[in-house]
Structure 1
Amino acid sequence: MQTVRMYSTQICPYCVRAENLLNRKGVEVKKILIDHNPTELRAMIKLTGRRTVPQIFIGDKHVGGYDDLVELDMDGELEPLLNA
């Protein structure tokens, strides 16, 4: 199973939803909290070009945010990506 990291904040409801979806798939998510860590915030922006959370990586692939994750799941593409 691929490693999943997620840039998040402590109060983000979409981050919670994304983590719950991934947990239901048997995935443990490595959360990187950016709300009090400007270094990680800058790193996230540099990697993704985005300023919103969650920003989710499966392995080295940036899959985007919560809506992107749900779309992958609905299209049947999430589990193969997790198991690659």
Structure 2
Amino acid sequence: MSVKEQLERMASVVIYTRQFCGYCTRAKKLLESKGVDFIEHDATFDPGLRQEMIEKSKGGRTFPQIIINDVPVGGCDDLHALDRTGRLDEMLAA
């Protein structure tokens, strides 16, 4: 498989974070351990990004908020729960 094909097959992962957030760090470490590239938006001091996060996550106000292939999956605990059930790998492979 070519690099272009691999990039086209990779899931789109966006994570909204804030500074000094242990849950944000844990979520990013899980994604990194799976070799997932993600776009991180630090909304610590940006009310506009925070509002964008709330809209894209369908109302999520806590940090982090993780969105995979435009589907809001919730926060750190939700991400780890998906991983335990094997659903995270399915979502990342979709």
TM range, normalised to the smaller chain?
Answer: over 0.9
Superposition deviation, residue 4 in structure 1: 0.7
- Name the structure 2 match of 1:10: 19
Give the counterpart of 1:45 among 54, 60, 69: 54
1:83 aligns with 2:71: no
- Name the structure 1 match of 2:4: none
- Name the structure 2 match of 1:58: 68
- Name the structure 1 match of 2:79: 69
Compute the TM-score of the two structures, normalised by the length of structure 1. 0.94
Aligned residue pair count = 84
Higher relative contact order structure (alpha carbons within 8 Å, sequence separation ≥ 6): 1
Structure 1's unaligned 5+ residue stretches are none
Superposition deviation, residue 47 in structure 1: 2.5
Structure 2's unaligned 5+ residue stretches are 1-9
Paired residue secondary structure (2:20) = coil
- Name the structure 2 match of 1:23: 32
The runs of at least 4 aligned residues of structure 1 exceeding 6 Å deviation read none
Compute the TM-score of the two structures, normalised by the length of structure 2. 0.85
Verify the 8 A CA contact 2:60 2:74 in the aligned structure 1.
no
Distance in 1, Cα, partners of 2:91 & 2:50: 25
